[in-house]
Amino acid sequence: MNEYNGKKPVTIVTGCLGSGKTTIIQKILLNKGYTEDFAVIVNEFGQVGLDHHLIRRAEERTVLLNGGCICCNSREDLEEELKTLLYADESGKETFDRVIIETTGLADPAPILFTIMSNPLLQNRYVIDCVVTTIDAKNGKIHLKNNPEIYKQLSVADKVIVTKVDIASKTEISELVTSIKGINPVCEIIYSVDGNVDPNVVKLNKSSIGISSINVNDISNKNHLSNDIQSISFTFSKPLNWVAFGLWLSMLLHAEGESILRVKGLLDVGEEGPIVLNGVQHIIHPPQHLDFWPEGENVSHIIFILREINTDKLSDSLFSFQKFLDTELSFLEHLKI
């Protein structure tokens, strides 16, 4: 597991009720050609753990948490279960390569990420690899209209699986994908029939970050329930000062963390390869240093998905900070001469 520096990767699968999360996980577990060994944590809101039993037929290392939604009031259950899995793996009792966490349809995935990344033991032994969101092609527009939580689930997704495409029209699928891209322009869209997907959907392909094609512009979602969600992207042709950029980003997240739904970027900081930046709200994943540029273009790209933040102010803040930094560096270089 060198790819994860010895840590256990975690995949979070989220999406509205009935969008196909359980079916997809079950099909992945049943795929005999996949080499990773999974441990699955199912968060079932309520007293009847039906989803848990469906998955258990395919995979015995399945744990049910039904004391409430782990995205809000029962994160202690998640912490303890992840620790228990670690102890079982280290003792050789039940080994696994990856953890899949299936959330309830009501879940905000951000607190789940925070639970793992804020606990000293868990953050040293686990790494959030990928967030997958499922959405029903036939009923997706209804969910977008009636279920505000889907906007958060889509905003934080690395990959969005559009399910049940066999029973939806081309127009329905096209309109839904347009809405998804309006919320999260950098997510990877995957289509599924009967829950069938490439098992590698649970893994984030770090050699294909998928943001360099995004233009520097605002993309505002027009749905009346999400008109406060916007995205803005930036491109820098010159290397960024990593320390200074980190300072600016830290100040931004400290002031507006709850409104920064997603941060994603490939940053040129003067090294051989870029730094991969990935964050949800005030939670920034440990930056990854790549050995090469995935698409051969040494240009920094960064995108923010925001809620109730003026994109003009954000842009002015970033460029003013960068301009101030360039002036300071020039002055210091002059002093050295």
Whole-number Cα distances in Å, 141 to 180, 185, 228: 10, 17, 18
Predicted confidence at residue 223, as pLDDT, reads: 37
What is the C-alpha to C-alpha distance for residues 44 and 54, in angstroms, rounded to an integer?
Answer: 12
State the Cα torsion 221-224-226-230 to the nearest 10°. Answer: 40
What is the C-alpha to C-alpha distance for residues 29 and 195, in angstroms, rounded to an integer?
Answer: 12
Q: Which fold has domain 218-336?
A: Hypothetical Protein Yjia; Chain: A;domain 2 (3.30.1220)
What is the C-alpha to C-alpha distance for residues 164 and 102, in angstroms, rounded to an integer?
Answer: 19
On whether the CB atoms of residues 235 and 301 are closer than 8 A, the answer is yes
Give me the helices (H) in the chain, please. Answer: 21-30, 50-56, 75-91, 109-118, 120-125, 140-146, 149-155, 170-183, 242-256, 311-336
Whole-number Cα distances in Å, 203 to 71, 83, 158, 302: 22, 22, 10, 21
Instruction: For residues 210-215, give the mean pLDDT.
Output: 47
Identify the band that residue 43 occupies on the pLDDT scale cut at 50, 70 and 90: confident
- What percentage of the chain reaches a pLDDT higher than 90? 30
Q: Is a pLDDT exceeding 80 seen at residue 67? A: no
As beta bridge partners, residue 300 has 236
Instruction: For residues 5-19, give the mean pLDDT.
Output: 91
Whole-number Cα distances in Å, 29 to 33, 57, 126, 200: 10, 10, 20, 11
SS (H, E, C) 54-99: HHHCCCCCEEEECCCCCCCCCHHHHHHHHHHHHHHHHHCCCCCCEE
Identify the band that residue 73 occupies on the pLDDT scale cut at 50, 70 and 90: low
Predicted confidence at residue 146, as pLDDT, reads: 87
Residue pLDDT, tens place only, 141-171: 999 988 888 998 999 999 999 999 999 999 9
Residue pLDDT, tens place only, 242-268: 888 888 898 888 888 888 888 888 889
Q: Which two tokens stand for residue 171?
A: 């127009």
Query: What's the residue count for the chain?
Result: 337
Identify the band that residue 312 occupies on the pLDDT scale cut at 50, 70 and 90: confident
Least confident residue range of 103-112, 113-122, 155-164: 103-112
What is the C-alpha to C-alpha distance for residues 19 and 174, in angstroms, rounded to an integer?
Answer: 17
Q: Is a pLDDT exceeding 90 seen at residue 224? A: no
CA-angle at 158, arms to 82 and 287, nearest 5°: 70
Q: Where are the domains of the chain?
A: 2-202, 218-336
For the entire predicted model, the pTM comes to 0.82
pLDDT mean across residues, the chain? 80
The string of DSSP letters for 149-194 reads: HHHHHHHT-SEEEEE-GGGS-HHHHHHHHHHHHHH-TTPEEEE-BT
Identify the band that residue 59 occupies on the pLDDT scale cut at 50, 70 and 90: low
SS3 (DSSP) at 336: helix
CATH of domain 2-202: 3.40.50.300
- What type of residue sits at position 71? C
Q: Is a pLDDT exceeding 70 seen at residue 69? A: no
